[in-house]
Structure 1
């Protein structure tokens, strides 16, 4: 049995005086596609944000590659474990400008933007250089989610945390994005991802295992 890429140990999250979830334990293994499910309001997005190091925990801890997160700098960790927001944020400018800007971050400066790689990702989505030249202010919600996915995939992370990544897309585009994520994962067998989705068919297609957040939303 391989060692887990990521593990949570008795993690708990509270907002004001209310526990959102408590004592969460699970593991994510190399090559795995894990779905996190639960009723609306139970805290699926908060769990992904905690795993991404974006929200503090009230108790418990997380390990990555067998090491507590305190061993890593947050930029180093977040370069390997990338969280895709439901509503991604962009800088003013074109799609391509936004894809290029991540390489200005110190953690990514040894990497180089590749338009040819992005065009390969865009081909199955039936988009080309015209899409790259579009201003992000004019994108639909689904198109913004496409750009967010491209922005993450180009950095070759170890783990993707996908928080309703296709919620604003039509069914055909959503399945094309699923294909891109599968292609990214198949290119390196150690890569893994965690999905949340209200689409049960998508969960069935894109997960090998399901973890249900215990309890009911309050």
Structure 2
């Protein structure tokens, strides 16, 4: 069986400074993998994750999805299956429910429909009631905004989550809410996988079975804690 995502000699260069941010990287993410990546600030963790998500075009090398290269026209479809979540969620004006309904207005998802029952189940995993849907996005705390952003992603049933320090700015309770959501999503389907970038070694060990390190753009490790 082919990996969900593979990279071959993937690099990312800062063209302005002419520095290599990501050294040639071979990587494979298989179904049911729970991977964490730790490393100091500026080591290349986010650079690697954003390249995997095809948010930033790789300078050289290749990203394969289910064994196949991804054409430019297929990138929106790819991103509906391989979802990137940043440390700072971007929410639109309106209520939480407005934000959760928004993806279904996009061209790639117009054949799908908002599912209140599925969203309610996700809310429960994060300790929220349906009343949360009526809250104004502008009034949410950092933790609430991250939960809303994560549910907006999880309702689409992605194959892979690319989590770029999603709890770094959150208090411990909110962090646990996010972890609970990820665990519930992962447990529901053994074909899923995720990569969690974290500065928190304890969290990295708690949330992964494969622990990698990033240093000066070099990915190494594959130790199982």
Corresponding pairs, count: 216
- 2:176 corresponds to which residue? 175
The alignment status of 1:131 with 2:125, answered yes or no, reads no
- Once residues 57 and 152 of structure 1 are traced to their aligned partners in structure 2, the CA distance between those partners, rounded to angstroms, is 24
Whether the 8 Å contact between 1:21 and 1:213 is mirrored in structure 2 is no
- Once residues 71 and 186 of structure 1 are traced to their aligned partners in structure 2, the CA distance between those partners, rounded to angstroms, is 32
Residues 63-212 of structure 1 aligned to structure 2 (within 5 Å):
63-70=64-71, 73-212=74-213
- Once residues 214 and 137 of structure 1 are traced to their aligned partners in structure 2, the CA distance between those partners, rounded to angstroms, is 37
Q: 1:125 deviation in Å?
A: 2.6
- Once residues 149 and 89 of structure 2 are traced to their aligned partners in structure 1, the CA distance between those partners, rounded to angstroms, is 6
Alignment CA distance shift 1:201-1:72 (3 Å): farther
Q: 1:98 deviation in Å?
A: 0.6
- Once residues 163 and 148 of structure 1 are traced to their aligned partners in structure 2, the CA distance between those partners, rounded to angstroms, is 13
- Once residues 37 and 212 of structure 1 are traced to their aligned partners in structure 2, the CA distance between those partners, rounded to angstroms, is 5
TM-score for both structures, normalised by structure 1:
0.93
The alignment status of 1:8 with 2:7, answered yes or no, reads yes
- Once residues 125 and 132 of structure 2 are traced to their aligned partners in structure 1, the CA distance between those partners, rounded to angstroms, is 13
Aligned-residue RMSD, C-alpha = 1.7
Q: Which runs of 5+ in 1 are unaligned?
A: none
Q: 1:71 deviation in Å?
A: 7.5
Whether the 8 Å contact between 2:42 and 2:216 is mirrored in structure 1 is no
Q: Secondary structure at the match of 2:62?
A: strand
- Once residues 68 and 216 of structure 1 are traced to their aligned partners in structure 2, the CA distance between those partners, rounded to angstroms, is 23
- Once residues 21 and 101 of structure 2 are traced to their aligned partners in structure 1, the CA distance between those partners, rounded to angstroms, is 37
- Once residues 204 and 28 of structure 1 are traced to their aligned partners in structure 2, the CA distance between those partners, rounded to angstroms, is 18
- Once residues 24 and 36 of structure 1 are traced to their aligned partners in structure 2, the CA distance between those partners, rounded to angstroms, is 14
Whether the 8 Å contact between 1:6 and 1:62 is mirrored in structure 2 is yes
Q: Which runs of 5+ in 2 are unaligned?
A: 219-225
Q: Secondary structure at the match of 1:102?
A: helix
Alignment CA distance shift 1:62-1:121 (3 Å): same
Whether the 8 Å contact between 1:39 and 1:216 is mirrored in structure 2 is no
- Once residues 12 and 42 of structure 1 are traced to their aligned partners in structure 2, the CA distance between those partners, rounded to angstroms, is 14
- Once residues 173 and 131 of structure 1 are traced to their aligned partners in structure 2, the CA distance between those partners, rounded to angstroms, is 15
Q: Secondary structure at the match of 1:213?
A: strand
Q: 1:213 deviation in Å?
A: 2.2
- Once residues 5 and 216 of structure 1 are traced to their aligned partners in structure 2, the CA distance between those partners, rounded to angstroms, is 22
Q: 1:137 deviation in Å?
A: 1.0
